Chain A
């Protein structure tokens, strides 16, 4: 009986983080729902016990159903029938089993039929699901849209749409258009107010929409005629049952075949405004996007875990030259790094999630009562940290998922190139992770702010100050040196001006330097609490040393005139 939570010590460890007590207390408003709902917890132990049980349930469904369906879902893909997208049979079963288990709406408040779990278990569920079927993780993860409705929509909209989530209605976020990909300010889909029917009408085309035929759609549209930038965009919620949307096609993709990607034509489709006009992109989509990036982080770590386990098992079973191939050190090193990268990005994933958890709770509380000055400060601190960590997490976890699935095939050798093993599917599924919800390059654009502001450096110093066992002194010393190198590189590049080409050109190097140091620090802190992470901490520190030195060398030798070659050669 496969259970993708019970068999994962890394997840259980993260759930035991000391911050969980405060996170759950905030989410549960000091356990105010106890007695009001028969499934509400009485105290911290009760809540944590429920988290474990429900994650174990999701782990069981993933291990027994999702993982077994992944191959047939990948082969079958999706199709259009009578203007509806039909999921693969396995996808339908996955969705039905999870709906029957009542686990959709995991983080929604109980008044809307949700389980009111904090973000940490919510993100864990996404990680677990993704390990079973990376593509299905999108259909599961798009329940994130409910968070946006909960945070910004009117009570009327909330009362209508939010209870649908736990019942298994699906969601999509309809942002991209043929001419508006990374640059969402160019969105053209038009929203006009229909006085007669007291609703908005949507007209235009959306492209590359994940789960495009969802029951509930959040649509970014231009409500302010004559505008051309992000300030003319508003956010709308659309109910599939109201009609007015034609599915023009679904894309034939490299990977995540179970997750339909649709092109949609909105033809006078009725919709309701979410929140206020003109805040669509600048406030609501940005908020949704942060959640989605966290989701891709979870998806990436889940896929890395799957790839590592596949590779490890094969390397132990496959014999060449009279011994299992894991005993060849080049293979061993690949596997060890896969493990370390998975542990490192998981550490970063939950460090980020804990920050999101705390600031989301305080934000929600601030709508119920006035926050105390200390609480306001906490809200500010964790919002800043979450904003800083999220792009770094998305960058590293998605790149590592690609590296890990690549190495998984390498461990399999020729067999891995065949369709007979799941690793080739994982490799194809991984490829989108560095692209959607903002490419790696866009994550760097977001993360560089933390470099320029000194935010990453300050956080690194905080990690340095956290007490750990003496046995970590050597590793800490190494990281301290790397941090000095990082600071020197930042100083040099900042010297060219933060808007200079030299800065733009080197920004990824700087963000990555910070990332390696931060992940190594996080693993040291984890290893200090649990010996199982000791080797990952050591390997990550070594990797940080290697990677930081490489970037430092480049920056030390960098001259702005070098850029000319990069331009000339690609003329």
Chain B
């Protein structure tokens, strides 16, 4: 029999999940080409989706997917924060609230009734918010789902001892570098200019306009972009729905700040 290896001193990694579709976590397991090398470099100590025994002590890196949508999630994320040297928000739900945060812009009772009828008494539901509402995160891997290239890149950076800076350019930059003919010019409602980039412009590459899954670009000119889309014939209602789809909470903040003139000191 092969001897059990001594306790490794490889960095401990946990992958945790709260309310979401688990698609971001799956992106990790879909890293086919280098997954084994990756698991060679770190020790995956907790990943309830694919592991039976899960360690719940201190770890070096903890990836958290999902939004805080239940009261008990609050304590969970706080504990994970306490237990992790580096806490990473994995995907749009953890970082922005994700699609479910659209509930913030709707009548909550109506939404609940629509989904669960009158059987809602057992639910201890919060309005969905990103985990960043409750804990500080060291890095946020954007996207719906989180981009696996960026996951691999992040792990490399962490292993090199770095907590990297967030990418701070809109989708358009990379889109132009790849010489995609602007979808706005083709009359589509593309949200590239107001969405954080570094996604390998996957959607525009297939002529699908950006829907904003990486969350609102903090320096985006929302006011002008909305105006532009309206000029192209899209209704304000549709535009606002799209804009609020993944990261409406932060979008609202950015737009308010722009209105208050913080962008024009």
Task: Tell me if chain B binds chain A.
Answer: no
Which residues of B pack against A, CB within 8 Å?
none
Residues of chain A whose beta carbon lies under 8 Å from any beta carbon of chain B: none
